[in-house]
Chain A
């Protein structure tokens, strides 16, 4: 493995984890939204680092662009300017952190057990004719029906949120 790749991975992972913690722990909702942008950008960088450039671009456009704008819109419309402290001392927080820790340890244990299988040599996503071309072929040949169904789902969501968001 190249040292540069490891360095970039470590940097992006650090940014992603730190900004995720800020999303959860920030007192102001706007600060959470901005930390969310940072986390999405770091994850987009990790996608690109893994050779999934198209997914990284989609991540930047859709998540860091429009989804966070939606969040900020809601924060502004709902007038969430004040600080809202989470209760980090009660039994609920204790239980939540305990559950999160258990889930984390379990996942890591599973990955540790599957280490030999995960260390199998990977050729990686490196097709000769370009990443987006192959992805498009797979998407529009093997997964054409799910793709069309997804467009219907998006249309239904559009109608649904127009109906829900309408003032009575």
Chain B
């Protein structure tokens, strides 16, 4: 068995990479992909803790995360496509239409 702390460290690295991606990239599609990376890191940690405690709650939580994320991603990509049709751009700096 690989120690649980290794999985946690790997999850931390993936989370940090995703965080940098969300903050640096301006393309909304790539930002969404970076968010996926972060959620994956969280899932990895959930499974690692589930393994540590020999308890299935972490796995069930990871399953729920995957389900909710599928819903979130569908709506987010639909919004991105609608916005792209409307304004013709895909960079987050252009999304100022709701600014007061």
Contacts and interface: CB of A to CB of B under 8 A. Distances in A.
A150 B64 contact: yes
Contacts of B53: 122
A162 to B, nearest CB: 8
A153 B36 contact: no
A40 B97 CA distance: 34
B74 interface: yes
Q: Report whether over half of chain A's contact residues are helix, strand or loop; otherwise say mixed.
A: helix
A158 B78 CA distance: 10
B81 A101 contact: no
Given A80-B29, A139-B60, A97 B20 contact: yes
Contacts of B95: none
A4 to B, nearest CB: 10
Contact residue range for chain A? 35 or more
Interface in A14-56: 16-17, 20-21, 23-24, 29, 32-33, 36, 39-40, 43, 46-47, 49-52, 54-55
A94 to B, nearest CB: 10
B60 A143 contact: yes
A75 B33 CA distance: 12
A96 B23 CA distance: 6
A139 B29 contact: no
Interface string A84-102: 1011100011011101110
Nearest to B38: A20
Interface string B1-38: 11111111110111111111101111101101110110
A92 B85 CA distance: 28
A108 to B, nearest CB: 6
Given A24-B20, A33-B33, A157-B70, 7 more contacts: A46-B47, A55-B47, A87-B26, A99-B20, A108-B12, A111-B5, A138-B59
Interface of A: 1-2, 5-6, 9, 13, 16-17, 20-21, 23-24, 29, 32-33, 36, 39-40, 43, 46-47, 49-52, 54-55, 58-59, 62-63, 66-67, 70-71, 73-75, 77-78, 80, 84, 86-88, 92-93, 95-97, 99-101, 103-104, 107-108, 111, 115, 118-120, 122-126, 134-135, 138-139, 142-143, 146-147, 150, 153-154, 156-158, 160-161, 164-165, 167
18 contacts: A20-B14, A24-B30, A32-B30, A43-B44, A46-B7, A58-B63, A59-B66, A71-B33, A74-B80, A78-B29, A78-B80, A108-B12, A111-B8, A125-B56, A134-B56, A154-B67, A161-B74, A164-B78
